Structure 1
Amino acid sequence: MLWIILALIIALLLFAFLDAPGRNEIANLTFSHPDFYNLRDGIFTGSFKGKASHTRDTKLELVVCNGEVSKLKILKGAVDKNGKPTTRKDGKRIVDVLYTAVGEKTLDVDVISGATITTKTHLKALEDALMKAEYKSVR
């Protein structure tokens, strides 16, 4: 029994050690300021791919209609095996944070306590999709 407990402790420590670079990368993410008022109509995908670790890679789809975000769908990340947004025990969902960002027209929104890193990767994927949806001025 002692060996099993010891093996579990070692496995947890090993996971924490191996996951640290990915967690640090995400903790230090910075966000640009996409122009929510200058969006082209269409369907745009956004993603976050970690360089240090791929355990929190995220992908989402953004639908813009009449210059406004009309729908968000998480394709990879905080979704269950059926593709539905996951709900935490406290009732909070990452997709709700994304809709808050869209409603407030800023990526500077409160993240979910206890899911800060996961929330940030999804916001980064939203940023990517919004940047793709922006009209680009030609000079």
Structure 2
Amino acid sequence: MPKGAIIVLVVVAGLILLIIAGRLAFKRVEQNLEGLKQLALVTPTVSTLKEGTYEGNFATFPVKVKIEATLKEGTIANLTLIEHRSGQGQPAEAILTSVLTEQKLDVDTISGATYSSIVILKAIEDALKKAQ
């Protein structure tokens, strides 16, 4: 077989492998994100939580959130987003206002940023669990 034909075969095989790997990676990301919709959120009774500032984390590829929740006088007094790695989920950061206003995690997710909204809520839940 001529050297040029071998090179073409190797390049084609490499491209096929890249396409397969890309599809598998995309499928994994899609499964991770779809799994988020099945997660339950539990809001502890905020008035019974210990005062202080607590860090919460939650990640599922490709979204990662680190948050700081401050509890004072039986309320969620402040939520600070320390880290939010997301694809197109930046609008989800508005959910912090809903949680502060309603003092619970059972709030509507942000349309167009559902997955990031859920990850942010799970990070808040993690912080609140640490205050029990």
TM value normalised by structure 1: 0.67
Q: Which of the pair is proportionally richer in helix?
A: 2
Three-state SS of the structure 2 residue aligned to 1:77 is: strand
Shift of 1:114: 1.1
What is residue 33 of structure 1 aligned with on the other side?
43
Gaps of 5+ in 2: 1-18
* Contact 1:111 1:120 survives alignment (8 Å): yes
Matched residues in 2 for 1:40 and 1:68: separation?
10
Q: Which of the pair is proportionally richer in strand?
A: 2
Q: Which runs of 4+ in 1 moved over 4 A?
A: 10-15
Matched residues in 2 for 1:31 and 1:131: separation?
11
Aligned-residue sequence identity (percent) comes to 29
- Is 1:62 aligned to 2:69, yes or no? yes
Q: How large is the RMSD of aligned CA atoms in angstroms?
A: 2.7
1:50-101 superposed Cα distances (whole Å, 9 cap, x missing partner): 3xxx32121100112223222211112168xxxxxx996xxxx433312212
- Name which one, 1 or 2, has greater alpha-carbon Rg: 2
* Contact 1:78 1:94 survives alignment (8 Å): no
* Contact 1:98 1:126 survives alignment (8 Å): no
Q: Find 1:76's aligned residue among 76, 80, 83.
A: 83
Shift of 1:103: 1.9
Matched residues in 2 for 1:55 and 1:15: separation?
11
Aligned length: 114
